[in-house]
Each structure stands twice: as structure tokens, then as C-alpha cells.
Structure 1
Amino acid sequence: MFDFNDIALFVQVVRYGSFSEAGRRLGMPPNTVSRRIQGLEDQLGSRLMQRSTRKLTLTDAGQGFYDRCTEAVDSLQQASQDLTAGRKVPSGLVRVASTANFLDFYTPAAAAAFLEEYPQVRLEFLLDDAMVDLIADRIDVAFRGGADSETGYIAHRMPVPPIALFASPDYVGKHGIPRTLAELARHRCLTMPHPSSRALWRLQGSDGVEEQVEVAGPFAAGNTRALHQAALAGLGIALLPSVVTVADIARGALVPVLPQYSRGNQSLCVVYPSHRQVSPAVKAFVTSVMRKFEQAFALHGP
């Protein structure tokens, strides 16, 4: 008779990529994990994975066994969680991945309010405009623009305010403000690095028609947080997510430029690692972030 716990353990070992990582997450010694998987292989009469010092590789038999077992294991885990989730208080560590400017929108003050409501939760942020490996980096939830379902499943896709043009009052006072999109070519624009030192901005006008303009400027950076800070410092006109400029506009640190132009139809995807069960703490945090985006979208309008 097969021990179905060993089958579930095999599925977790494949997902976490090693005996040691699976053992760490499941609270058992790696040699115990290895011994139980070997026992399962003996019962099946087939090698499921090849071991090496660096990684585990599934055999053809192991891949087929994993593909057939993983959905059943997930269904059992989900059924168990559904029975107990209503009684659980959100607690534990939530590791969050997002772009470098995420905390410009979901501010430390918002995080403080969330943690006051859920004092048993801890938050860790991995903020980088580059895509991260959700499994390898032990991420519980990621917030991405245009996320690909191949890296996980998308639980929510939320519309967000558009990307638009902003500059500081100091910049506008010194250099004026463009009256047409074409005039941006003569202004200092803050862009992502490009081999030609120029960037092509494509924006939609109020009539929904897309137009484009080639721009350049004295400052380029590889993430939007740096471009945001450069705009605040008066270095030029930046193309920024509207959600991160709300407080700056309210205190007069930034002003809209050519507000009839924007890059619309933006959305935010909430992505979880494939097949991982979502804890009450993660659900509570996602709900908190979604409320912030809903408030921002209501403020800006569709």
C-alpha cells in the first residue's frame, strides 16, 4: 500500500528543487526527505529523479508521475485549507515582489496600517524592476504589470490609472511647458537607457489615437523609481505611473504635462507561485493593496 504522504512529499521536492529546501519548508531533515523518496521509488519499482550535487532532475517516469499526481495533491491541500481558512488569523511572513517604486504607492504608512490591523503578520519586500523567480526567491505574491501566466497563475488583473507625463514646477519655470507632443523633442526628457541615447515614446491622445515622439535628455535610469526622483529634482519631464504621483501633485512637487496624452489600458496582475496554497496572511495583504489601487483609480478615473 502506498503512503500518499510520500507522494505529496515527492510533489513538494520537485517544486522546491531540492531535498534540503523541501525539508526546510516542511520542517524535516533533508536525509529524511531523501529516504522517503527513495522508499517511494522502491515501491514503484522506478527511478523518479536523478540526484546530483547541484540539482535534481526528473526522469521520464518521474515527470509523468509528477504530472499525474500534482493536481490531486493540490486538490487535497486546497480542500483541507478551505475547511480551516475561515478559522485562521492572518499570521507569519509574507514575501512580496514588485517593481522598485512599489512603496511609492503602497507607502510605509499603508504598510503600518496593515500591520496594525494584523499584528501577527510580517512583511518582506523584494523590489526590483527585473522579473524574479517566485519559487527560487521564496516569494508569496508578486505584483506585476502584464505578468505572464507561465510564471504562475494570475488571480486578479486590476485596471490601474494610466502612465502620464510629469515635471517639477522648477523645471517648468526654467524651460517652459510643451504645448504639443512634438515639442517634447526639444525638452529634457527622462528615459530608460537606450544605445542611441534617444527613446521613442508612444502615447494616446484624448481621441484614443496613438502618436509617437522621439525624446532625449541629460538623465536616464533603468527603473521608474529613479526617474520619479529625477523628475522631483527638476531634471526633466518623465513618463510615470499616475498612482505614484498623487502625493507629489497634492503638495505641488510635480505638475502634469500634456495631460491629454497618456499610456492607457494599464493593468496590474497579482501573481502567486504555481500551485502554492495562498495563506490568510497573503490574502489579507493582497486585499489591502487592491483597495489602495481601487482608491487611486477612482481618484484618477478610467
Structure 2
Amino acid sequence: MLDLNDLALFVQVVRSGSFAGAARQLGVPANTVSRRIQALEQHLGTRLLQRSTRRLTLTSAGEQLHRRCAGAVDGLLEAGQELTSGSREPGGLVRVAAPADFFDFFRMEWVAAFLAEHPRVQLAFVLSDAKADLIADRIDVAFRGGRLHDSDYIGRQVLADGNDALVASPAYLAARGNPASLQELQRHDAVLFTPPGQAQGYWRLRGADGVEHEVQLTARLTGNTVQALRKATLAGLGIAMLPRSIVKWDLEAGRLVPVLAQYHSPGHGLNVLYPSRRQLPLAVSAFIDLVVGKLHELDAPPASMLM
């Protein structure tokens, strides 16, 4: 008969990333953890983890098992915590994947207030513009923009799509002129979201009549975060296409001005993504609610989430 304790141990090993880490969390010898995982693999007749001197990685069978049983394990643990504490109080470690410039927009005092409100929660941020592998990187929740393509994960849109607008600094337009057509736009310097070293790029722009146009451009500067492009545009390095929510205050203050305002590009909303499970741990749900609530108040999600 399958030992449910071994399934719970398997989930802990995946989240810890090693037998030693799981052993420290559970207060048992590491060789005991290794032996019980081997026994689980023998019982199931398949390898769940690939071992190396540096890390453990899930096999395809291991990913399927983790996806199926992690939620059930969380539910049992939370039920036990509720009986022990007498309340549904969020607790535990939450690993969060977010863009590198997340804290340029999301205030640390909000995090401090959240941790003060939930003293049993710990947060670990993995900040990178690369998309995290939620299982391999042991991520509990990730924030991403654009369409979701991870069929093995659960995701939902938390901020609706917006529009990207063409903008430039007053100083740039005073020096180079304000383009009156898409043809003139092609002769201007552009600040582009493109791979490093690539000088050519394009924008797909939609006019008021709904017709879409592709405009070839020469990049004066490229970057891989919206915040970097915004700063370059403020410095007068060219015309950029940026989310309206990000440049809202710059436009109101006159630091940036619209260019060819009759054209726009459909933007991307913000999505929250987490490993597939039957129910989210209370700590994860509480943190998602915090981020979504604060971003709705700002009406401006972290810039690089929208790319």
C-alpha cells in the first residue's frame, strides 16, 4: 500500500530542492529522506527525481506526481495547522517570482505591513526578467504579463489589457520635430524592446479605423525592461511605445508628450501564475490579494510585467 507520508515527504523534497534541505525542515536524517524516496520510486515503478552532485530535478513522472499531490498535501497540512492554532491564519514560506524591477513600483512598506499582519509568513523573492520554472525553482507564485502558455500551471488575469502609446520627451521633439505620419516616424530614433545588439525593430500600430500597420524602425537604444525604456525616453534618446499606465504621470507632468496619438498598440494585462494544485495555501492567497489590491489602487502595474 502507498504510504501517504512518503508522498508528503516527496513534496517537501521538491520544495526544498534537496534531501538535506527537506531533512532539516522535517528534523530527520538526510539518509532517511533519501531511503524513503527510493522506496516510493520502487513502489511506483518509476524514477521521480534525477540526482546529481549539484541539484535534484524532477522527471516527467515526478512532475506529474507533484502536480497531482501537492495540493492535497497542502490541504492536509493546513487542516492540521487550523486544528493546532484554532484559526485559519496564513503561515509558511512563500517564494515569489517577479521581474527584476519589481520593487521600483511595488513599495517595500507594503511588504512590511503584510508581514506585520501575518507574522507566521515568510517571503522569498526571486527577481529576474527571465521566466522562472515554477517547479524547478520551487516558486509558489509568479507575476507575468502577456498570454499564458504554461499549460501545466494555473493562471488567471488580475489586471485587464491596456493600450501602449507612442511617447517622446519635449526636448527630443524640439530637436527632431514631431512626426505627422507613420512614414515620418520611420526616420526617427526609436527606443525599443529588442534583443541586445539588434539595431532594427518594428512596431505594430493600430489606427482609429482599426487597420494595423507595421513600422520598421532603427533603434537608438534597446532594453529588456519597460522601466529602462521609460528612463531612456525621458532622457530624450528617441520615441518609445510604452504602456499608458506606466507613462500616465509623465504625460500629466509634461515630462513626456504623445506622438501620433491616433495610433496605439494593444498592450498586455497582468497575470498571476502558480503550480497546479487543488487549493492555494492561505499565505499564497493572501500575498496574491495584496499585490492585486495595491496594483489596482495604483492603476499601474510594475512596468516589466507588461512585456
User: Distance in 2 between the 1:107 and 1:128 partners?
Assistant: 15
> Which residue in the other structure is 1:202 paired with?
204
CA distance in 2, matches of 1:139, 1:59: 17
Q: How does 1:153-302 map to 2 (within 5 A)?
A: 153-191=154-192, 192-193=194-195, 197-264=199-266, 266-275=268-277, 278-295=280-297
Question: What RMSD in Å do the two structures reach over aligned CA positions?
Answer: 3.7
How has the CA–CA distance of structure 1 residues 178 and 266 changed in structure 2, closer, same or farther, with 3 Å as cutoff? same
SS in 2 for 1:219: strand
Number of residue pairs matched?
291
Q: Percent identity, aligned pairs only? A: 42
Task: Report deviation, 1:41.
Answer: 5.6
Greater CA drift, 87-96 or 123-132: 87-96
Q: Spell out, residue by residue over 1:10-62, the C-alpha distance to the aligned partner (whole angstroms, 9 max, x if none).
A: 354467664234435555442221122344467x39564576434667899xx
Q: Is the 8 A contact 1:47 1:59 kept in 2?
A: no
Stretch deviating more after TM superposition (68-77 or 172-181) = 68-77
- Report if the CA contact (8 A) 1:100-1:225 is conserved: no
Q: Could you tell me which amino acid in structure 1 is paired with residue 240 of structure 2?
A: A
The worse-fitting range, judged by mean Cα deviation, of 9-18 and 227-236 is 9-18
User: Within 2, Cα distance between the matches of 1:94 and 1:66?
Assistant: 20
Q: Evaluate the alpha carbon distance shift between residue 255 and residue 59 of structure 1 in structure 2; reply closer, same or farther with a 3 A threshold.
A: closer
Q: Aligned letter for 1:241?
A: P
Distance 1:258 1:154 in 2: 35
Aligned to 2:8: 8
Q: Deviations over 1:72-93 (max 9, x none)?
A: 5633533653784993444555
SS class of match (2:284): helix
Matched residue, 2:35: 35
Check the 8 A contact 2:72/2:278 in 1, yes or no. no
Aligned-partner Cα distance in 1 for 2:198–2:114:
50
Amino acid at match of 2:129: D
Structure-1-length-normalised TM-score: 0.77
Q: Secondary structure at the match of 1:130?
A: coil
Question: Does 1:126 pair with 2:138?
Answer: no
TM-score of the pair, normalised by structure 2 = 0.76
**By how many angstroms is 1:112 displaced?**
1.2
For the 8 Å contact 1:157–1:269, the answer to whether it is kept is yes
1:102 aligns with 2:102: yes
When residues 125 and 178 of structure 1 are mapped into structure 2, their CA distance, relative to the original with a 3 A threshold, is farther
DSSP 3-state at the match of 1:186: coil
Rate the CA distance shift 1:277–1:202 in 2: closer, same or farther, 3 A: same
Give the Cα–Cα distance (whole angstroms) in 2 for the partners of residues 160 and 47 of structure 1.
43
Aligned partner letter, 2:226: T
CA deviation after TM superposition for structure 1 residue 274, in Å: 3.9
Any stretches of 5+ residues in structure 2 without a counterpart?
301-307
